[in-house]
Structure 1
Amino acid sequence: MQMQHIQADEAKQALVVPVVLENIRYARETTQVFDGFSLRLDQRRVGVVGRNGSGKSQLARLIAGLAAPDQGQVTVNGVAVATDRKAAISTVGILFQNPDHQIIFPTVGEELTFGLTAQGMSRTQARVQAEQMLDRFGRSGWFDRSVHGLSQGQRHLVCLMAVLMMAPQVIVLDEPFAGLDLATTLRLGRYLDGLEQNLIHITHDLSAIEAYDRVIWMEQGQLRMDGPPAQVLPVYEAQMRDWGGADDLADL
């Protein structure tokens, strides 16, 4: 039994994929978001917290390779995600807060197979894999279904399946449950908890990341605090309550 635990721990450890940001400078329009920012993430479950405008979503875009830094480099498992887009797609995936910002095709099947066919897989084989993914999530029969007829939670699930179709090693979650009802959030949360991939989860829901390996607190494009959830989250919540209870609006 002890050997089984050791093997399980080794398998879990082997899944850790390093995400490295080195000396990043990045400006969005007229705002300097990061200026000499460096970070290494090498835990399976990392939570990211911070107020709106702290740089969390831009961090997500940089890690996913959807934005290129003005200076420095972002690598995920050694892949320069901003420049090597073909390798990046199978290395890191991202789930946005709004699935309508992610879905580009009218049917579920087209959405699920696009990434595979773009990389050269035949339409027949891509369909087989898409139908296997739908079966995995108990959604067989959705292949020809219109995306626009799905609920918000169902469209989130389609986005998750589309990301998983590419078998990425890292998945970035940019507030994926915002606006969803509690039941849908719990169901999608269970799906995510069961994934083998490394997760980097940006959220305002502190309970969603309290069992994670690490939490980083972003503030004005910098690390305000970094460590285990039990250390970071109480301090973060206390600071948010302090700012929220003040009458001075300068911190907004």
Structure 2
Amino acid sequence: MGIHLDQVDVRLPGVDGQLQETTILEDITLELTQARTAILGLNGSGKSTVLRLLNGLMTPSDGSVTVHGIDVVQQRKAARRTVGFVFTDPLAQLLMPTALEDVELSLREVEADATQRRELAQDLLAAAGLADRMHHSVYDLSGGQRQLAALTAVLAVEPSVLVLDEPTTLLDLRNRARLMERLAGLPQQLVYATHDLELAATAQQVVVIHDGQVFACGGPELVADYHQWCVDGFPGWDQL
């Protein structure tokens, strides 16, 4: 079924007494049907806003967003169950003192028995390579361990779609490699915004967002073009 954005605009109201709205996204129409989609764009281009539309963290001013047949605006609760979201900084979503408690919290949606939740959380964290760190404070974990813990908590409720906002930004090379290996083995449809061109090149579909609009959409060969546009300017756009 895929993910469909149809003529989506996102506008924010003026601040500090200003009446003029700020346009964040304009006329975004996309069909994301591949197992892996990378969204590329400069800082401030609007790529993170696109991600937030997919599970209702942001609402379009105009247009529609449909994920696997679910209208994200009209069926927000169902969309949240279908779409898991992993933030750039895992501490933004690790709400409990330890990774084990955080995964248990997620599992409350699918498992009523506390003993079963604890056992399942332990199994999931062990599978993620965190067996010896699950009882430690999340503040004592490395950046990579935090990211894996956050990912495990999101995946615990088995969403159909996983959305990640710059998942490798805060990671060193070792933890980046671990995360990429983990993502490669997931059955979910993945959509991720990234500045990591190596990660982007592993996607079957690549979307370039520039100045709040879709600049290009294609296969992984688009990554090399994007790199060149970042160096030379976006054709027909930055020269205006």
Bigger drift between 67-76 and 40-49 goes to 67-76
- Does the Cα contact within 8 Å between 2:110 and 2:157 map onto a contact in 1? no
Cα-to-partner distance string for 1:141-195 (whole Å, 9 max, x where unaligned): 5443321211111111111101110111111111111131111101111111111
- Does the Cα contact within 8 Å between 2:207 and 2:218 map onto a contact in 1? yes
Alignment equivalent of 2:227, drawn from 237, 241, 245 = 237
2:124 and 2:97 map into 1 onto residues whose CA distance is 18
* Distance change >3 Å, CA 183–CA 141, structure 1 → 2: closer
Alignment equivalent of 1:168, drawn from 159, 183, 187 = 159
Residue correspondence of structure 1 range 109-148 to structure 2 within 5 A: 109-118=100-109, 121-148=112-139
Matched, 1:22 2:13: no
1:29 and 1:98 map into 2 onto residues whose CA distance is 27
* Distance change >3 Å, CA 186–CA 73, structure 1 → 2: same
2:132 and 2:196 map into 1 onto residues whose CA distance is 33
The Cα of 1:242 is off from its aligned counterpart by 1.3
Which amino acid in 1 is paired with 2:232? Answer: D
Aligned-pair Cα RMSD in Å: 2.1
Residue 59 of structure 2 corresponds to which residue in structure 1?
68
1:29 and 1:109 map into 2 onto residues whose CA distance is 40
- Does the Cα contact within 8 Å between 1:96 and 1:173 map onto a contact in 2? yes
Residue 101 of structure 1 corresponds to which residue in structure 2?
92
Alignment equivalent of 1:203, drawn from 194, 198, 201 = 194
1:93 and 1:82 map into 2 onto residues whose CA distance is 16
Matched, 1:177 2:168: yes
* Distance change >3 Å, CA 83–CA 132, structure 1 → 2: farther
Matched, 1:78 2:69: yes
Cα-to-partner distance string for 1:179-224 (whole Å, 9 max, x where unaligned): 3111110111111111111111211111112132111110111111
Alignment equivalent of 1:36, drawn from 23, 27, 36 = 27
Unaligned runs of 5+ in 1: 1-16, 245-249
1:96 and 1:200 map into 2 onto residues whose CA distance is 12
Residue 19 of structure 2 corresponds to which residue in structure 1?
none
2:44 and 2:172 map into 1 onto residues whose CA distance is 25
Please give the secondary structure, in 1, of the residue aligned with 2:147.
Answer: helix
Q: TM-score, normalised by structure 2?
A: 0.87
In percent, how many aligned pairs have the same letter? 37
Residue 36 of structure 2 corresponds to which residue in structure 1?
45
* Distance change >3 Å, CA 85–CA 127, structure 1 → 2: farther
Higher helix share: 1
Alignment equivalent of 1:187, drawn from 172, 178, 183 = 178
The Cα of 1:83 is off from its aligned counterpart by 4.4
- Does the Cα contact within 8 Å between 2:208 and 2:214 map onto a contact in 1? yes
- Does the Cα contact within 8 Å between 1:67 and 1:82 map onto a contact in 2? no
- Does the Cα contact within 8 Å between 2:130 and 2:145 map onto a contact in 1? no
- Does the Cα contact within 8 Å between 1:25 and 1:34 map onto a contact in 2? yes
Q: TM-score, normalised by structure 1?
A: 0.83
Please give the secondary structure, in 2, of the residue aligned with 1:139.
Answer: coil
The Cα of 1:24 is off from its aligned counterpart by 1.5
